[in-house]
């Protein structure tokens, strides 16, 4: 089985090797990585990894008509690795596939869901929980507290990324789900969630959110380390969103993701340290990893010379972890979403589960 992970990166060199080692251990056999005008040496790191046979690196320089992420997805659809893959998934470098069944690999997940042609893995938000940074250690060891298994709000926390069989049912990749379905093949598509439940037809054609108010993580989840340390969050804000049409990073983005309600170290049960150590055993990669971390520290210092960035950093220091809303509190929002003629393109309404 060939499983392809596709990602698009900019200035992610400090986190790249951990992400790559983890997903190699998960069972992805191929990696197609697009770099977008990097300043921290991520592109040079990817060149080295390409030369060593760990991944395929494609430069994706701007300007981009629809943003770097969509440009990368369109290029991925045309790439030979996509045609050769049995299963495909688009991931960001702050997202870690976390499988809870069998030996915690893709093979174990697919064995648990033998009828599945698509498996949407719901985000589980891992909060900052007071880490100031810049981060020196591993992401998965540094951020170990997350949203509870059942979360009633915000709706963005119920978004997913989809592992899908590359059988021709969908002609194009998307950020959260495959797109452009073949209508004749669509009737045989079988979608199952991360708890192993069969999903209704709406998921096969357009849904990008799991239902609220239920545990979607029994078999697998997608650990989303969207914030990182406070210092790294400033650098992330400075980099900008991969989708140029999306709203900018700000305190709203932070508050909707900074959940530290429960401890969850399950991702560490799949040990990828030996693979990461192998990568760092290469002198070139080790040097580029150190360079990326130095760049990140320097960029944070530069940003802090400007008042708007100091003000944002101060707000991050002031803000406590986000409070988990009860179902009753969330319903005060959701009942209005149901009544509104159009809310977030209708996505909130389609995701409400009571």
pLDDT (tens digit, 9 = 90+) per residue, 93-138?
999 999 999 999 999 999 999 999 999 999 999 999 999 989 999 9
| Between residues 231 and 341, the one the model is more confident about | 231
Q: Is 104 left (phi over 0), alpha (psi -120 to 50) or beta?
A: left
Laid out side by side, the sheet with 56-59 consists of 56-59, 30-35, 3-9, 87-90, 160-165, 118-125, 220-224, 95-99
pLDDT of 178 higher than 50: yes
Q: Which helix or strand (DSSP H or E) is residue 112 part of?
A: helix 106-112
Name the band, by pLDDT with cuts 50, 70 and 90, for residue 245: very low
Strand 87-90 relative to strand 160-165, pairing = antiparallel
Domain ranges (residues) in the chain: 3-351
Percent of the chain surpassing pLDDT 90:
88
295-311 average pLDDT score? 97
Q: Where are the beta strands (DSSP E) in the chain?
A: 3-9, 30-35, 56-59, 87-90, 95-99, 118-125, 145-146, 160-165, 170-172, 179-181, 220-224, 262-263
Rg (CA), the chain: 20
What's the half-sphere exposure (Cβ side, CA atoms, 13 Å) at 72?
28
Query: Would you state the pLDDT for residue 354?
Result: 35
Centre a 10 Å sphere on the Cβ of residue 131 and count the other Cβ atoms it contains: 18
Lowest mean pLDDT, pick from 240-244, 295-299, 311-315: 240-244
* Model pLDDT for residues 34-85, shown as the tens digit of each residue: 999 999 999 999 999 999 999 999 999 988 888 899 999 999 999 999 999 9
* Model pLDDT for residues 189-198, shown as the tens digit of each residue: 999 999 999 9
Name the band, by pLDDT with cuts 50, 70 and 90, for residue 244: very low
What is 269-335 written as a DSSP string?
GS--HHHHHHHHTSHHHHHHHHHHHHHHHHHHHHHTTSHHHHHHHHHHHHPPPPPPPPHHHHHHHHH
Q: Which residues contact 75 (CB under 8 A, 6 or more apart)?
A: 34, 58, 60
């Amino acid at each position: 089985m060939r499983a392809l992970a596709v990602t698009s990166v900019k200035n992610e060199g400090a986190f790249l090797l951990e992400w790559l080692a983890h997903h190699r251990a998960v069972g992805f056999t191929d990696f197609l990585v697009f770099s977008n005008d990097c300043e921290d040496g991520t592109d040079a790191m990817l060149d080295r990894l390409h030369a060593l046979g760990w991944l395929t690196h494609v430069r994706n320089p701007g300007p981009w008509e629809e943003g770097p992420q969509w440009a990368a997805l369109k290029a991925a659809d045309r790439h030979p690795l996509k045609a050769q893959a049995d299963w495909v998934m688009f991931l960001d470098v702050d997202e870690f596939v976390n499988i809870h069944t069998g030996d915690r690999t893709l093979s174990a997940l697919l064995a648990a869901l033998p009828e599945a042609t698509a498996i949407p893995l719901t985000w589980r938000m891992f909060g900052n929980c007071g880490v100031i940074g810049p981060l020196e250690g591993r992401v998965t060891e540094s951020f170990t507290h997350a949203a509870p298994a059942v979360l009633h709000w915000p709706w963005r926390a119920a978004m997913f990324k989809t592992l899908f069989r590359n059988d021709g049912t969908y002609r194009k990749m998307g950020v959260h789900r495959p797109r452009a379905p073949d209508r004749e093949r669509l009737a045989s598509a079988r979608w199952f969630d991360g708890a192993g439940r069969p999903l209704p037809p709406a998921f096969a054609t357009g849904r990008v959110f799991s239902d609220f108010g239920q545990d979607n993580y029994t078999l697998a989840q997608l650990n989303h380390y969207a914030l990182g340390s406070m210092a790294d969050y400033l650098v992330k804000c400075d980099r900008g969103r991969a989708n140029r049409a999306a709203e900018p990073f700000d305190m709203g983005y932070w508050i909707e993701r900074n959940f530290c309600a429960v401890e969850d170290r399950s991702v560490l049960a799949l040990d990828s340290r030996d693979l990461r150590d192998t990568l760092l055993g290469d002198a070139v990669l080790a040097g580029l990893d150190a360079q990326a971390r130095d760049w990140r520290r320097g960029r944070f210092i530069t940003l802090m010379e400007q008042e708007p960035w100091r003000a944002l950093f101060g707000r991050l220091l002031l803000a406590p972890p986000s409070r988990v809303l009860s179902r009753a509190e969330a319903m005060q929002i959701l009942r209005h979403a149901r009544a509104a003629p159009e809310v977030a393109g209708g996505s909130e309404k389609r995701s409400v589960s009571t």
